[in-house]
Chain A
């Protein structure tokens, strides 16, 4: 039987910043609109204008569109309507792209802090809109685990529009695609947009990374994209851990390696504990594999949003193992994570001494850096430089005052 109608979005108690769209085929070639909105008296005219614009774009007639709006921003409204249209008319492939927010900039920077990365469910607009004001180092629009299987198409369109419309300010704009092969489809929608880094979930082999890399290269070329997208593979299985070194070295796009402990502990058949002995090996492997290729090692997500003490402890522990970042799911966790990664006074002091030694070595025209009678090795120099950079960024020392 022919499909007569399709819906997208959500309605009901507690729905905010979203809307519900139903599109039905009707006889004749007219367009019927049935629109109700919580912001009717402020944006009613604009909403009708936007609805007609998108229906016009798809050249639709002989349809009835019912919209129940709960304060959805324009990019959400467009995403929900586009998705409903594509569900009703699967042959329609064209994308309706909302205008690019002039504040949105795309800059793929290899060397940057990735202390905190905030996961946002890809089909929930209300958490996305203000995420940037909390200043996480990275924002992840998630297409994978936080999106139910029958909403994957809706989330893809919503995330695409969010990337074009929301200003996440200084945060690195990341998207977690689905596991391959579905993830390759996600890339088609996402790569041409202002995304900076892609997370590859459940990465098990170097082929996973290579496949994503290839697909991205292809799409970058096709879309004329200049900024080369970065990658962060997520390892979530025993096999992935055993292949971590190869995964880390599989692409020039890789900038960091991370681990998903929920799936990993299940995979090895261990219970996940607060203490974390069961994952110590895997986490160390991640750190070592990452550092082998000068990548950042990023720890798993801390998911108990009410336990700030626990988060602090877990982050300090991660730092002690060599991790440089931690995942989070609530904006209030960001500050705690950044605090924990803050260099200690002792670290800063030592780093400043090394910086001074470097200066002196330069003045002497010597390649040998020494502190007192001890020679300072290159990795120590690198670590000191990193600490000073972080200390500057976090306001512990002021520019030009480190001598």
Chain B
């Protein structure tokens, strides 16, 4: 066992690789060259460009799927995905064992993967572990260790060769027989396919799966057919009603609306809201509501943003259409209004990917250029460290998504209730540390706003406002008074079940099994 610079205990090895402990933000400097896929030759591919094969099984056979390989897939279909479960059903049918699965994220619809973890088809999953999958892993039942990476961290791990994808399966709402593909047309339209970009570039073999095959050329295309081995047509790759829904409802909770309003006021009163500024609003109900409050304040002040980082949703689209922002930068798309706007205003939506927005092995990225970002968390501690992957009871709950990458914004704001029912959110020490306090600037709760003491500039900027600025320790104490004292620690076992990667590939924390 080793400890990293934040004092978190880590295993010496993670799935056979030596652990590199987190050293501090910007401290770890990798060396050498980036990874690269094998050199293909077009002599091996049909000159007429038709790469269609009859089934996923045939594609797997042609790709040489065998025991112990690493398979990847993206999560643009969110909870409506019908491809990921199918991948492992087919692999199981073929009798393949011990696969490593590297999804960009998973959703509750992927619960059937537990069967394949149990029957040996999948060895372990390196990707978000939610709901029943999270519990399965937290119970210590997964053979390998879960590895949780941010969207940018996934790109980084693929680029620096820590993760090598043997076969990537890319579900695409629209594709041609050559393998060019996009996410904007067809019944399963999801908007974008950026999360599959690294997979298409770095995997040994790439399979595109579609339910909407069009004649060449599929225009526009986000996935290049030149990187694709095979194309498979299926009846149904997703459930359109679940692909872009669920997270786009503005909260009705008066407490959360109050938090959203405080955030908007903070951005206004601190001077961040000015002509040409930029912000990001996430998918949660509070973040959406914040954008609505900010919109009114921008109109009142006659201020216009240069860009907003999406996921696009109808509220951001309204701002675009009302001229309150020049551009929306999209990494994914959260609702149908967003998908439609990408089709209607192709020059106002800038398609981004983990490469452009988040990647650590790039010569800069967009996330750090954003003036303010609003994110959530399950816990925040008095050192401003935050947790997004486990509950206070230590059970794996969420993936990291782009959360860690977004912390690099000029002003990172976490929108959290100070407690949920009787579960304190502002605590002495986070159960699992996903984001270091040095990058987290402002915590907005219904019981006041805490500004990180490192950010003297922000403290100064709002000192004459009527915002309820408080010390984070004060809020924590009030929460403990309300909830009836400090909460008990989780009932940890002694086995590491998951590692939490930082954006640079080092390990920021590790999660042990929980005894239920």
Interface residues of A (CB under 8 A from B): 16-17, 38-39, 41-46, 50, 70-74, 101-103, 129-130, 133-134, 167, 330-332, 395
Residue pairs across A and B with Cβ atoms less than 8 A apart, 16 shown, are A16-B421, A39-B422, A41-B490, A43-B484, A43-B488, A45-B488, A50-B484, A71-B420, A73-B422, A133-B255, A133-B258, A133-B447, A330-B254, A331-B254, A332-B257, A395-B466
* Interface presence of B423 (CB below 8 A): yes
B residues at A contact (CB < 8 Å): 254-255, 257-258, 392-394, 420-424, 446-447, 466, 478, 481-485, 487-488, 490-491
- A101–B394 alpha-carbon span in the complex (Å): 30
Known: A41-B491, A130-B446. A73 touches B254 (CB 8 A): no
The reply to whether A71 and B488 contact each other, CB–CB distance below 8 Å, is no
The 10 closest A-B pairs by CB, nearest first: A71-B421, A42-B487, A331-B254, A41-B393, A71-B422, A74-B484, A39-B422, A133-B446, A130-B255, A17-B421
Q: Closest CB of chain A to B449's CB: distance in Å?
A: 12
**Contact status A38-B421, CB under 8 Å:** yes
* Cross-chain contact A42 with B488 (CB below 8 angstroms): yes
Interface of B is mostly: loop
Whether B258 and A73, one on each chain, are in contact in the complex, defined by CB atoms closer than 8 angstroms, is no
Q: Using a Cβ cutoff of 8 Å, how many contacts connect chains A and B?
A: 67
Cα distance, A252 to B392, chains bound together (Å): 52
Contacts of A44 in B (CB 8 A): 488
- Complexed CA–CA distance, A392 and B423 (Å): 39
Q: Complex Cα distance A45/B486, Å?
A: 11
With A73-B484, A395-B466 in contact, do A39 and B423 touch (Cβ < 8 Å)?
yes
B491 near A73 (CB under 8 angstroms)?
no
- Asked if B482 and A73 make an inter-chain contact with CB atoms under 8 angstroms apart, the answer reads yes
Decide if A42 touches B254 in the complex (CB within 8 Å). Answer: no
Could you say which residues of chain B place their CB within 8 Å of the CB of A332? 254, 257
Bound complex: CA A279 to CA B485 (Å): 51
Residue of A nearest to B484 (CB): A74
Per the bound structure, the CA–CA distance linking A70 and B490 in Å amounts to: 19
CA A134 to CA B262, docked complex, whole Å = 12
- A contact residues around B483 at 8 Å (CB): 43, 73
Determine if A39 and B491 form an interchain contact, defined as CB atoms under 8 angstroms apart.
Answer: no
Give the chain A neighbours of B490 by CB distance below 8 A: 41
Q: Assess whether B422 is in contact with A72, with CB atoms less than 8 Å apart.
A: yes
The CB with the most chain A CB atoms within 10 A, among B392, B422, B483, B491, is that of B422
CB <8 Å contact, A70 and B421: yes
A134 touching B423, Cβ below 8 Å: no
Chain A: minimal CB distance from B290 (Å) = 16
CB-CB < 8 A to A38: which residues of B? Answer: 421-422
Could you tell me if B393 and A17 are in contact, using CB atoms closer than 8 angstroms? Answer: no
A17 to B447, CA, bound (A): 18
Among A41, A50, A103, max chain B CB count under 10 A is at: A41
Alpha-carbon gap, A63 to B490, bound state (A)? 31
Chain A residue at smallest Cβ distance from B255: A130
Residue in B closest to A102 when the chains form the complex, CB atoms = B481
- Are A129 and B485 interface neighbours, CB within 8 A? no
> Which chain A residues lie closer than 8 Å to B484 at the CB level?
43, 46, 50, 73-74
Which chain A residues border B423 with CB–CB below 8 Å?
A: 39, 42, 71
From B255, B257, B392, B482, contact of A42 by CB (8 A): B392
A-side contacts of B421, CB under 8 Å: 16-17, 38-39, 70-71
CB distance from A391 to the nearest CB of B (A): 15
Collect the chain A residues with CB atoms within 8 Å of residue B392's CB: 41-42
Q: Which residues of A are found within 8 Å of B446, using beta-carbon distances?
A: 130, 133
Also in contact, A43 and B487, with CB within 8 A (given A71-B422, A395-B466): yes
Q: Give the residue name and chain of the A residue nearest to B261 (CB).
A: A335
Query: Which chain A residue has the least Cβ–Cβ distance from B424?
Result: A42
A130 to B392, CA, bound (A): 21
State the CA gap A17–B253 with chains docked (Å): 15
CB distance from A77 to the nearest CB of B (A): 9
Give Cα distance in the complex from A135 to B483, angstroms.
21
Task: Kindly provide the distance from the CB of A203 to the nearest chain B CB, expressed in whole angstroms.
Answer: 30
Query: Other CB < 8 Å A-B pairs besides A41-B394, A45-B488, A50-B484, 9 of them?
Result: A17-B421, A41-B488, A42-B488, A43-B422, A102-B481, A134-B254, A134-B258, A167-B478, A331-B258
- The answer to whether B481 touches A101 (Cβ under 8 A) is yes
Assembly CA distance A40 to B237 (angstroms): 41
What CA separation (Å) do A284 and B466 show in the bound complex?
37
Minimum C-beta distance from A5 to chain B (A): 26
Contacts of A17 in B (CB 8 A): 421-422
B485 near A46 with CB under 8 A, answer yes
Most buried by B among A42, A103, A129, A167: A42
Within the assembled complex, what's the spacing in Å between the Cα atoms of A78 and B393? 24
How far is it, in angstroms, between the C-alpha of A331 and the C-alpha of B424 when the chains are bound?
A: 23
Distance in Å: Cβ of A219 to nearest Cβ of chain B: 28
CA distance A332 to B255 in the complex (A): 9
Distance in Å from the Cβ of B396 to the closest Cβ of chain A?
14
| B141–chain A nearest beta-carbon distance, Å | 19
